Structure 1
Amino acid sequence: MGSIKQDIAETYLGLYETAQEKWGDFTQFLREAWPLLLILLIALMGVWLYADPPPPRHVVMATGQPGGAYHALGKKYAAFFEKKGITLELLETKGAQENIEFLADRKNPVQAAFVQAGVFNPHGIKGVQSLGTISYDPIWLFYRGVAVKGDNFQEIKARAQHFLNSRMSVGEKGSGTYAQAMQILKANGFDVGSHFLYLSGAKSVEALQNKEIDAAFIVDAFESPNVQTLLADPSLNVSAFDRAEAYTRLLPYMQILNVPAGGFSLIRNFPPRDIKLMASTTNLLIDDRMHPAIQFLFLEAAREINGKSSFFSEHGEFPSFKHPGMPESPVALHYEKNGSPLLMTYLPFWLAEMANRLIFVLLPFCALAYPVLLTLPGYRNKRMRRKINQLYGVLKTYEQELTTNFEPEKKDEYLKKLDFLEYQAIQLKVSKSMSSDYFALRTSIDYVRSCLNRGFHPFQLQEDSSGV
């Protein structure tokens, strides 16, 4: 047992001495090579800033019309970004079609936008990527008059024909409402009515309340002020989509939303029966040149704001990456599998982003700089030999001075100079390969000291009194 303990102790001691030696070599290397390391670090930082610049502090996002859900949602995103130190400028637009046009224009400053699925052709747009879908956009058809029974197809067809010949708003051209209304009308074989009005959401609400129109398409969230105003009006009805399954076959981007009887108002028992609504989805689209850190910030905003439960969605349902509509951003793919970078969870955004970017510089720097510099031909030996040669030069100067201009009364001053020179030599931290040069220097210093202590004139033979 004693021999095993001894072997363990010797092994431990050997490992400890090896680690101590390596650490000593490393610290010595830092003291010797810090100028080169600093130059290399500055060069890497320059490449880093050029290849991976910091995220912008100002981002422009297209939302929608005032009073609509996109406009209200944009304000929530702007407040989230403000807490992270980023200014999110909101640009009011006519709607989804204009949003996608702004985003696809490479010269336009818009970098992000809320866009409804189904209002654009993904094959005809370049430079735009998706961060996923973030909410449902129900398609509402509000109308005046007697409620249409869902099982009476002839009555539905007659009422639809009535709407086509009456004053009905189908949304402002360029908006998502207009695009969705046209899709539904065409799917039912209807042409554009001669009395159609192209009103914005807010104007459609006003016109319905003032009885200036008979019906209006509105594509907006359940929580939007426009929709809530119309749902609260007892003189208005909502058209159900009883053939919702058929719409999803014809228009694959459509989603079915179920509303139970009394879901909108228990007091009025509105709607009076279970109904189905059709809905598009809101896509969070971005310019594919957007900085990855800003993309992560948008995804975090979507999770915090749109991930809450709502009338039609469950908690955590959004952001969703099932039907993006456009090519997914690589950042969104990473987020879907791994979530946000770990540092963003625990650090402020700007600090986490900077640390995350620095890691990709410091890791290669630490992994490559040390071994690369160590392998430079004779780098360390040359530096150490130069220091030793400098001390040899000083010693040679002292020796010449003692040879030509020796003054006995200054002997103690010379000895102090040699003592200081030896102190400088002792401070040198040399590797084992340079030990012979190190001890040769100290021997030379001791030799000069011995000569100085030998006699009256240490470096000259004392002349014989006879002159021989």
Structure 2
Amino acid sequence: MGSIKQDIKETYLGLYETAQEKWNDFTQFLIEAWPILTILLLVLLGVWWYADPPPPRHVVMATGQPGGSYDALGKRYAAFFKAKGITLELLSTNGAEDNIAHLADRKDPVQAAFVQAGTFHPHDVTGVQSLGTISYDPIWLFYRGQELRVNDFQEIKSRSHFFLNSKMSVGQKGSGTHAQAMHILKANGFDEGAHFIYLSGSKSVEALKKGEIEAAFIVDAYEAPNVQALLADPNLHLAAFPRAEAYSRLLPYMQILNVPTGAFSLPRNFPATDIKLMASTINLLIDDRMHPALQFLFLEAAREINGKASFFSEHGEFPSFKNTGLSESPVALHYEKNGSPLLMTYLPFWLAELINRLIFVLLPFCALAYPILLTLPGYRNKRMRRKIDGLYITLKTYEGELTLNFPPEAKDSYLKKLDLLEYEALQLKVSRGLSSDYYALRTSIDYVRNCLNRGVHPYQAREDLSGV
């Protein structure tokens, strides 16, 4: 037992001494190499700052008309960003056309916007990318009077003429509602009617309830106050889209929404039969220069806010990356496949973003510093060996001078030179691998000193001493 304990103790002491030796060598290396490592780190930090600057703390986002559903959605996004330490400023606009114009203008501060699919031509838009779609925007056509039932194409055509000859709101020009209404009319072969008026969503609701107009297009979410107000009014009817499949072929961005009997109101049994509605989707568009960290934050906001189950969407259905109309951001492509960076899941946004950016520096730093860390200790040993060799050369010079010509009065002078040489040797801080060379130098210095102290003419040749 004693032998085993002794072996364990010796093994432990060996490991401890080895670790201590390596640590001492490493600290000595850092003392000597820190200027080079500091310069390297500063250079990489400079490259990092310019190549990957920190994300701005203030972002401007275009939403929609004040009081509308986009405005309300924008406020939820702003609250999400505020919790992450970022200020999201909301800019009210007249609608989709304004939002696209803001994003496409390279000098405009707007960096993000909600835009309905189908309200812009992708080929006419540059510098704008998509972070996916985040919600459905159903197309609602409410009207007053007798309910029109549809049985065949001729009745559909006559119903269309009814709306064209009625006083109908088709949305404020420049808005998504107006764009979608015009797409539907043109798909049916109609142009704008002479009695069309262009009201905002809230004004359309007010006018329709008061009987000032006969019909109104509203493109908004099911939960929107304007839509809920019209659905709750028993004096109003909702036009369905029985030819929804045809619309989805002619207008590929359109989505078909199925509404079962009584889904809007069971007491009223509204609608009275299963119906189909058409819907656009809300695109989350960004300036393609937006910082990647902010793009991930927008996607996380979309997942948390729009990813919940709603009347028309299932849990986790949004954000979606289908039929976006514009090219997807590389960040969105990464998010679609891998989700958010792991650090953003467990750490505060600012800390996760800082660590993520520091990796950009630390990896190159380690890649460059590691060869230096391997090279410099060998260089240091060579430098120490050169110093030892230099002291040896000096000692050899002294010894040569003493051999050729040694006046007795020079003894004290040479002893002082040897003392100074030994002092220089004592100032050397060498690794354990050079200890033998180091102590061999000191032994040689002491040997020359002993020769000087042996007596008169210690370095004079023996034949020269015979005549003394």
* TM-score, normalised via structure 2 length: 0.83
Pairing 1:122–2:122 present? yes
Q: Does the residue aligned with 1:217 lie in a helix, a strand or coil?
A: strand
Q: What is the CA-CA distance between 1:382 and the residue it aligns to?
A: 5.9
* CA distance in structure 2 between the partners assigned to 1:389 and 1:59 by the alignment: 65
CA contact (8 A) 2:388 2:425 kept: no
What does residue 4 of structure 1 align with?
Answer: none
What's the secondary structure of 1:336's corresponding residue?
helix
Work out whether residues 97 and 174 of structure 2, in 8 Å CA contact, stay in contact via their aligned partners in 1: yes
Residue in structure 2 matched with residue 266 of structure 1 by the alignment: 266
Change (3 A) 1:418 1:277: same
Q: How many Å separate the matches in 2 of 1:87 and 1:272?
A: 47
- Tell whether 2:233 aligns with 1:204: no
Judged with a 3 Å threshold, the aligned counterparts in structure 2 of structure 1 residues 225 and 390 are, in CA distance, closer, same or farther, namely farther
- How far apart in 1 are the matches of 2:448 and 2:309? 89
The answer (yes or no) to whether the contact 1:118–1:280 under 8 Å persists in 2 is yes
Q: Contact between 1:374 and 1:380, CA under 8 Å: does it hold in 2?
A: no
Is the contact made by 1:422 and 1:445 (CA closer than 8 Å) also made in structure 2?
no
Alignment pair present for 1:314 and 2:280: no
Deviations 1:118-154 (A, max 9, x none): 1111112111111111111100011111222132543
Shifted more, 438-447 versus 382-391: the winner is 382-391
| Aligned residues of 2:139 and 2:218 also touching (Cα < 8 A) | yes
Q: Which residue of 1 aligns with 2:237?
A: 237
Give the match for residue 430 of structure 1. 431
What is the CA-CA distance between 1:437 and the residue it aligns to?
A: 4.3
Q: Distance in 1 between matches of 2:49 and 2:442?
A: 49
SS at match of 1:264: coil
Distance (Å, rounded) in 1 between the aligned partners of 2:69 and 2:388: 77
Counterpart AA for 1:76: R
Match of 1:60 in 2: 60
Partner SS, residue 186 of structure 1: helix
Distance apart, 1:280 and its partner CA: 0.6
Number of matched pairs: 437
> What's the CA shift for 1:366?
1.1
User: 1:405-436: per-residue Cα shift (whole Å, max 9, x none)?
Assistant: 999xxxxxx99x999988755xx24263x445
Deviation at 1:267, TM superposition (A): 1.5
- Contact in 1 for aligned 2:143/2:238 (Cα 8 Å): yes
Q: Which residue of 2 aligns with 1:325?
A: 325
Deviations 1:306-358 (A, max 9, x none): 10000000000001112121001111111111111111111110110110111
Give the Cα separation in 2 of the matches to 1:388 and 1:402: 24
Q: Which amino acid aligns with 2:359?
A: I
CA distance in 1, matches of 2:411, 2:140: 106
Partner of 1:143: 143
- The 5 A counterparts of 1:271-290 are 271-290=271-290
Write out aligned runs for 1:41-440 (5 A). 41-372=41-372, 374-375=374-375, 379-381=379-381, 384=384, 403=412, 425=428, 428-430=429-431, 432=433, 434-435=434-435, 437-440=437-440
The offset of 1:72, in angstroms, is 1.0
User: Partner of 1:6 in structure 2?
Assistant: none
Does structure 2 retain, via aligned residues, the 8 Å contact 1:74–1:90?
yes
Aligned amino acid, residue 186 of structure 1:
K
Q: For the residues of structure 1 that align with 2:65 and 2:271, how far apart are their CA atoms?
A: 28
Q: Which runs of 5+ in 1 are unaligned?
A: 1-11, 396-400, 408-413, 460-467
Cα shift at 1:20: 8.1
Q: Give the superposition deviation at 1:207.
A: 1.1
- Name the structure 1 match of 2:464: none
Q: 1:449 to 1:348 in 2, by over 3 A?
A: farther
Q: Deviations over 1:155-214 (max 9, x none)?
A: 333232122122111111111111000000000111111111111111111111221111
Instruction: Report if the CA contact (8 A) 2:422-2:442 is conserved.
Output: no
Gaps of 5+ in 2: 1-11, 396-409, 459-467
| Distance apart, 1:455 and its partner CA | 10
Would the aligned equivalents of 1:69 and 1:224 in 2 still touch at CA under 8 Å? yes
Distance between the aligned counterparts of 2:228 and 2:137, measured in 1? 14
* Identity in percent: 76
User: 1:272-314 CA deviation, whole Å, 9 max, x = no partner?
Assistant: 1111000011111111101000000011111111100000000
Cα distance in 2, alignment partners of residues 169 and 387 from structure 1: 93
Q: Secondary structure at the match of 1:112?
A: strand
Q: Deviations over 1:51-86 (max 9, x none)?
A: 110111011111111222211111111111111101
Given that 2:415 and 2:449 are in contact with CA atoms closer than 8 Å, whether structure 1 keeps it comes out as no
Instruction: Give yes or no for the alignment of 1:32 onto 2:24.
Output: no
Tell me, yes or no, if the aligned pair for 1:258 and 1:274 is still in contact at 8 Å: yes
CA, structure 1 residues 442+406, in 2 after alignment: closer, same or farther (shift >3 Å)? closer
Compared CA separation, residues 449 and 340, structure 1 to 2 (3 A): farther
Range moving further from structure 2, 203-212 or 110-119: 203-212
What secondary structure, in the 3-state scheme, does the structure 2 residue paired with 1:191 have? coil
Aligned to 1:411: none
Moved more, 380-389 or 230-239: 380-389
CA–CA separation in structure 2 for the residues paired with 1:98 and 1:402:
98
Give secondary structure in 1 for the equivalent of 2:311: coil
- CA separation of 1:448 and 1:259: change in aligned 2, threshold 3 A: farther
**Do the aligned residues in 2 keep the contact of 1:143 with 1:237 (CA within 8 Å)?**
yes
Assess, with a 3 A threshold, how the Cα gap between structure 1 residues 162 and 150 changes in structure 2: closer, same or farther: closer
Pick closer, same or farther for the CA change 1:315–1:445 going to 2, 3 Å.
farther
AA aligned to 2:223 is E
Counterpart contact for 2:117–2:283, Cα < 8 Å: yes
Partner of 2:407: none
TM-score (norm: length of structure 1): 0.83
8 A contact 1:136–1:221 mirrored in 2: yes
SS in 1 for 2:371: helix
CA distance in 1, matches of 2:287, 2:208: 38
Cα pair 1:69 1:221 within 8 Å, conserved? yes
